Structure 1
């Protein structure tokens, strides 16, 4: 069986792809082979209940792909978008640590991007450069919404803008935030507003760079 094609079919066509994946796991049908088992192992990775009351990383991933399925038609690249949702927290497999009594996964976005490269390259999907770059970039940048909104030191608007996927990063971001425990309407509105703030700051950055370039060109004349 071509697992990539089978997974892609359900990620692109199912209203709730999680049903398919959870059924595979429950019936021992999920491929326990590399690289697919990198995602399967997320079942054993617990998360800080304060931020993830839903449970382990696999549960979170399933909730995120269901949220992504609601929005995939709004993305530039639906196939890449759904695979980015499926792989977005793969980095937590190796970065999750207990620090001072709290579970953390620092740099899981950066590590996850490298693991995504490894995952896709093993399947020879790096040959599809557009798909490959899209998925790796979304995994690498999915935490930027939080960093940018909070004016965090890890915010990297330059990298976000250069990726060319600003809107889809925001789209994956809302899926990530809503793919957790239940939220009130007020909490959902807050998450949606954070995405708006992220997009606004990206646009402001673009406008600022454009003004700087225009000023530079004028002074050169």
Structure 2
């Protein structure tokens, strides 16, 4: 099967399956996931570790599979399901080159920035739809901003976020990301929904102030 046909098959799975992880995990488990560039950007995540404190599910691959399943549940709320689901699949590909062990803890600083560039590179290998590519790229670039905005962290780029992404779409991706983890209690789930609400309130206030 050609790489373009594989891309089309992946897209079909992302848009139609209730649990896309079943398909992708079968490919990985049977050693059938394409290893050629650019698909290795995704398959490489199988061996990228994460901090157990924040990611009890283990590797970035495991996390990504949980995220795409959460996204599949939420996708009908999206204004652009295709971009939303590809963003979910590619949202952490930047962790491969950025993950390091610091003081006994795995970190992946700026994986959002690096991942946005990698996602653009991945998609340009198959399509030339600039609007679609930029939508996915920017969702990935700002997918950490729920945390950054809610906690008023210095890493936030409010201007870039407001100018480049739909806040509702970003909130939906961020929610999928936050819920796509190992065991998560009802209390923690409620907290994540509350954080999304706070993020939207703060971000829309920033946006409205900018437009005044």
Q: Which runs of 5+ in 1 are unaligned?
A: 212-221
Query: In the alignment, which residue of structure 2 is the partner of 1:149?
Result: 150
RMSD: 0.9
* Distance (whole Å) between structure 2 residues aligned to residue 207 and residue 178 of structure 1: 29
Count of residue correspondences: 209
Secondary structure in 2 matching 1:6: helix
1:12 corresponds, among 10, 15, 26, to 15
Deviation by residue 1:9-41 (Cα, 9 ceiling, x = unmatched): 010000000000001111222111110111101
Query: In the alignment, which residue of structure 2 is the partner of 1:176?
Result: 177
Q: Retained in 1: the 8 A contact 2:138–2:165?
A: no
1:1-221 aligned at under 5 Å gives the runs: 1=1, 2-123=5-126, 125=127, 127-211=128-212
Choose 157-166 or 9-18, whichever is displaced more.
Answer: 157-166
Higher alpha-carbon Rg: 1
* Distance (whole Å) between structure 2 residues aligned to residue 12 and residue 173 of structure 1: 19
Runs of 4+ in 1 over 6 A off after TM superposition: none
Q: Tell me how far 1:210 sits from its aligned partner.
A: 2.7
Q: Tell me how far 1:122 sits from its aligned partner.
A: 2.1
Deviation by residue 1:35-85 (Cα, 9 ceiling, x = unmatched): 011110101000000000000000000000000000111112111111100
Normalization by structure 1: what TM-score? 0.92
* Distance (whole Å) between structure 2 residues aligned to residue 184 and residue 121 of structure 1: 39
